[in-house]
Amino acid sequence: MPKGAIRCHVRNRIALVREARGLTQRELAALLGIAHTTLGRWESDQHFPPDAMVGKLAQVLRCRPCDLFPHDFV
């Protein structure tokens, strides 16, 4: 999957799963221990979540990492 497609996929999936869980960006950011602006940058395709955050993000959103990231990425 091309890098641009990966970023778009991740941005859309994080927001979709977050919203499905009824969380705001501020609420999810607090659960992750990050600034809400950081989460906003992930969802707006300005930055990509660091590898160390993948498991925690999936755990907090109660999903699998592959639900957020392409299979060939995780």
CATH for 54: 1.10.260.40
- What number of other Cβ atoms are within 10 A of residue 42's Cβ? 22
* Domain span at 39: 3-68
* CA–CA distance, 71 with 74 (Å, rounded to integer): 6
pLDDT of residue 74: 47
Any idea of the CA torsion for 32, 33, 38, 42, to the nearest 10 degrees? -10
Q: What is the pLDDT of residues 36-60, one digit of tens each?
A: 999 998 888 778 888 889 899 999 9
Q: How many domains does the chain fold into?
A: 1
- Whether the per-residue pLDDT at 18 is higher than 70: the answer is yes
Of 14, 62, 2, give the one whose Cα is nearest residue 41.
14
12 touches 36 (CB < 8 A): no
40 within a domain of the structure (yes/no): yes
- Whether the per-residue pLDDT at 34 is higher than 90: the answer is yes
74 within a domain of the structure (yes/no): no
